[in-house]
Amino acid sequence: MAEIALEQLTKVYPDGTHAVDQLDLDIDDGEFVVLVGPSGCGKTTALRMVAGLEEITGGKVLIGGELVNDLPPKDRDVAMVFQSYALYPHMSVHDNMAFGLKMRRVTRGVIGRRVTGAAKILGIEEVLPKRPRMLSGGQRQRVAMGRSIVREPRAFLMDEPLSNLDAKLRVQMRAEISRIQRDLRVTTIYVTHDQTEAMTMGDRVAVMNRGLLQQVDRPQVLYDRPVNLFVAEFIGSPAMNLVEAEIVGRDDGLAARFGNVELSVDAEALAARPDLLRYEGSRVALGIRPEDLEDASIAEAGEPMVAVVDLREDMGSEVYLHFTVDAPPVRAKEVAEAMEAEAVGAASAQVQGTPFIARVDRETRAREGAQVQLSVATARLQFFDLDTGRGIWDRP
């Protein structure tokens, strides 16, 4: 068994910086867990502590039930795949993959079988005699993975292994890594700052910010039920539209009012977050995902919302409509960090109000400078406390 347990795992640097702050995370045997967050959030530091490459300030790391805090990296039986390929340029692909086994004095026959088997899994059998300089970026990354696979470790630790690849190859390698992990069923911790990678690859995703674990769950749960503004803003592309809104009472329930827009709080949405009743007459952060806004001439159902298109982006399979809502933007600290302060400042300097994006069907006839009626899927509205940033659900 190779379950990994992190208990109150902490890293404090000499200058007082808390890179990782009391991280609790249990990873099941054979599970693929992704650590995701912006640069400097502590995800790589946490991974390096599991690998034994970073000294632990406090807490515990257990692998297969064994406390490994004081074990050197070579005795933890884990294999790390780095952002850089770290291949020996003077060795063939075969020898690069076999090197670690030779250092462990594994017999030649076993080495041959493992290297050939890993090369077949990765589809690099034909490049085994070649040297790294003769390979493409994708092939080099496969060799780096193969070097880990042949060790047959208890766990894979991957630190942004695709960041040096171009966009098309990253998509291909994402699928390859997911397939390989599924076939081998090796416990894997994968670090990335790319939320698309996180959402498409992980059995579960752990979102981190400033050394703190924000939320860990299945990708769809993170998307549907973000625990706070940071997770809501970070998960999803394009990012969630966030605006200050007032919760007002109606005879038939509640509504969210911002600018000249008033949207009913769908009965399904209210059932999922009964605590919203406490906010009647108060202001909250309202979240609307771009994909929950559709051109009303195309959408079958939803509440109307009128907008003037500032910018139209044709993406081929869909269209992004940029417009502005005459209401205060949410400037919670978590959101500013997710977007980066410079981007927030630039956006606020260009427009008065709150920038919105609608992700609509490619058949839309909406044009820049023209008015368009949008349809809002109110069952999927999100609500957050303005003071704490916490999602408003079923408990205070």
- CA separation for the pair 202, 189 (Å, rounded): 9
* Count of CA atoms in the C-beta half-sphere (13 A) of 135: 25
In this predicted structure, the answer to whether residue 168 has a pLDDT above a threshold of 70 is: yes
Lowest mean pLDDT of 189-193, 308-312, 332-336, name the range: 332-336
Confidence band, pLDDT 50/70/90 cuts, at residue 336: low
Which tens digit of pLDDT belongs to each residue from 199-224?
A: 999 999 999 999 999 999 999 999 99
Per residue in 31-56, pLDDT tens? Answer: 999 999 999 999 999 999 999 999 99
Q: Give the three-state DSSP class for 366.
A: coil
Residue 349 has pLDDT above 50, yes or no: no
Q: Delimit the CATH 2.40.50.140 region(s) of the chain.
A: 233-384
The C-alpha torsion from 269 through 272 and 274 to 279, rounded to 10°, is -50
Instruction: Specify the domain boundaries for CATH 3.40.50.300 within the chain.
Output: 4-225
* Residue owning tokens 């054979």: 30
Q: What is 4-225's CATH superfamily? A: P-loop containing nucleotide triphosphate hydrolases (3.40.50.300)
Q: pLDDT at position 337, please?
A: 55
Higher pLDDT, 121 or 187: 187
pTM: 0.88
Q: Say if CB 258 and CB 327 are below 8 A apart.
A: yes
The answer to whether the peptide bond before residue 89 is cis (omega within 30 degrees of 0) is no
CB 45 within 8 A of CB 11: yes
Question: Looking at the DSSP assignment, which residues form a beta bridge with residue 205?
Answer: 34, 217
Nearest to 136 by CA among 172, 100, 112, 99: 172
DSSP labels, 73-116: GGGS-EEEE-SS----TTS-HHHHHHHHHHHTT--HHHHHHHHH
Band of pLDDT at residue 269, cut at 50, 70 and 90: confident
To which H or E segment does residue 9 belong? strand 4-12
Compute the distance between CA of residue 77 and CA of residue 73 in angstroms, rounded to an integer: 8
Q: Quickly name the fold that domain 233-384 has.
A: OB fold (Dihydrolipoamide Acetyltransferase, E2P) (2.40.50)
pLDDT band at 331 (very low <50, low <70, confident <90, very high): low
pLDDT of residue 342: 45
The radius of gyration of the chain from alpha carbons, rounded to an integer in Å, stands at 24
**What tokens appear for 310 in the block?**
């500032």
Residue 346 has a pLDDT of: 47
* Distance from C-alpha of 116 to C-alpha of 125, rounded to nearest angstrom: 7
- Sheet strands side by side (includes 354-361): 311-314, 318-325, 354-361
Q: What's the longest Cα–Cα distance across the chain?
A: 79
